């Protein structure tokens, strides 16, 4: 189902997910909404519904729309805005029912209500999306996310919540200035590129960087390619990242396991999941919670 909708949350909960992720951005009237991107073009019909609202770069930003306007949009499986073709062709493609953008409040409330009615203890795993960009637009997204988490009772490390972000400066700010006391996870990009907020991912993945991270965070979220490498089927190598992170006292939750987008070395999804277990990670992000053992 289209990602981050309430229907997708309910399905993930029913399929046995231990944690459910919420990528959080903000509307023009200050409401937290759950979207993977700060733009709307690759997951909604915004261009058809609001043809004259894009910025100079041709993209439509959630921050430029009120919640009421966002709620009129139809959410779809991710597609290429230039061609209209789906990124993952085998996924849900039906035109009905119509899916809508969820608020952060709706998503958190749904998880807690499903926990209450099923007796399960499913956690939430929100991500503060592009906080430096939001701050440049005059919006303190990180502080608002923490405020909403507190309202729902997610504040201590014993609570069922991991708060994550790619930007190192923001992660430190959430801990030091915003005062978030719960579990924090530093998301890491791959390769040597410098990430958003001038985050040096290569340094943070090093033993020295991991020790520095351990002052602020409880874990790291690297791409699977930084945990397991290989270019040929059946040939894979476990990197030192997990063992180095463990020495620093950090858990490792790599992203993203997809049965329809496998690494070159994996013959099938089962091999991918088995390899992650062999690498010693404590958990992993997946688009397929129903395939918990890879089968």
Query: The CATH number of 6-38+104-279 is which of 3.30.70.330, 3.30.1490.190, 3.20.20.190, 3.40.50.300?
Result: 3.20.20.190
Number of CB atoms found within 10 A of residue 192's CB: 10
What digits encode the pLDDT tens for the residues 22-53?
A: 999 999 999 999 999 999 999 999 999 999 99
SS3 7: helix
pLDDT given for residue 230 in this prediction: 96
Number of CB atoms found within 10 A of residue 153's CB: 12
Q: Is residue 94 scored above 70 in pLDDT?
A: yes
The verdict on pTM exceeding 0.85 is yes
Q: What is the mean pLDDT of the chain?
A: 97
User: What does the alpha-carbon distance between residue 59 and residue 48 come to, in Å, rounded to a whole number?
Assistant: 13
Domain positions in the chain:
6-38+104-279
pLDDT given for residue 31 in this prediction: 99
What digits encode the pLDDT tens for the residues 209-224?
A: 999 999 999 999 999 9
User: What does the alpha-carbon distance between residue 62 and residue 101 come to, in Å, rounded to a whole number?
Assistant: 11
Percent of the chain at pLDDT > 90 equals 94
DSSP one-letter string for 89-142: TTS-----SPB-PEEHHHHHHHHHHHHHHH----EEEEEE-SHHHHHHTT--HH
Binned at pLDDT 50, 70 and 90, residue 294 comes out as low
123 phi and psi angles, rounded to 5 deg: -90, 170
DSSP one-letter string for 59-101: --BGGGS-HHHHTTSPB-S-B-TTT--BSSTTS-----SPB-P
CA 1 to the chain's CA centroid: 16
What digits encode the pLDDT tens for the residues 149-203?
A: 999 999 999 999 999 999 999 999 999 999 999 999 999 999 887 888 889 999 9
pLDDT given for residue 295 in this prediction: 60
């Amino acid at each position: 189902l289209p990602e981050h909708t309430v229907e997708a949350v309910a399905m993930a909960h029913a399929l046995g997910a231990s944690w459910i992720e919420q990528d959080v951005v903000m509307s023009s009237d200050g409401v937290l909404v759950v979207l993977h991107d700060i733009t709307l073009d690759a997951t909604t019909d915004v261009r058809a519904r609001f043809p004259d609202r894009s910025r100079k770069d041709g993209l439509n930003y959630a921050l430029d729309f009120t919640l009421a306007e966002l709620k009129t949009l139809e959410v779809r499986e991710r597609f290429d805005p230039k061609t209209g073709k789906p990124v993952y062709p085998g996924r849900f493609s039906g035109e009905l029912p119509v899916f809508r953008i969820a608020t952060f409040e709706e998503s958190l409330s749904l998880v807690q209500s499903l926990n209450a009615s099923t007796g399960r203890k499913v956690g939430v795993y929100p991500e503060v999306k592009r906080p430096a960009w939001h701050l440049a637009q005059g919006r303190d997204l990180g502080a608002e996310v923490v405020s909403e988490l507190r309202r729902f009772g997610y504040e201590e490390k014993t609570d069922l919540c991991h708060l994550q972000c790619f930007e190192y400066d923001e992660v430190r700010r959430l801990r030091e200035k915003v005062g978030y006391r719960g579990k924090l996870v530093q998301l890491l990009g791959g390769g040597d590129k410098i990430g958003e907020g001038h985050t040096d991912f290569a340094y943070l993945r090093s033993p020295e960087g991991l020790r520095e991270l351990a002052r602020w965070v409880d874990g790291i979220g690297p791409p699977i390619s930084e945990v397991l490498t290989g270019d040929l089927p059946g040939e894979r190598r476990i990197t030192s990242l997990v063992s180095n992170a463990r020495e620093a006292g950090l858990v490792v939750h790599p992203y993203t396991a997809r049965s329809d987008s496998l690494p070159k070395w994996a013959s099938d999804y089962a091999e991918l999941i088995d390899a992650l277990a062999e690498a010693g990670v404590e958990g992993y992000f997946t688009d397929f919670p129903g395939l918990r053992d890879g089968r």
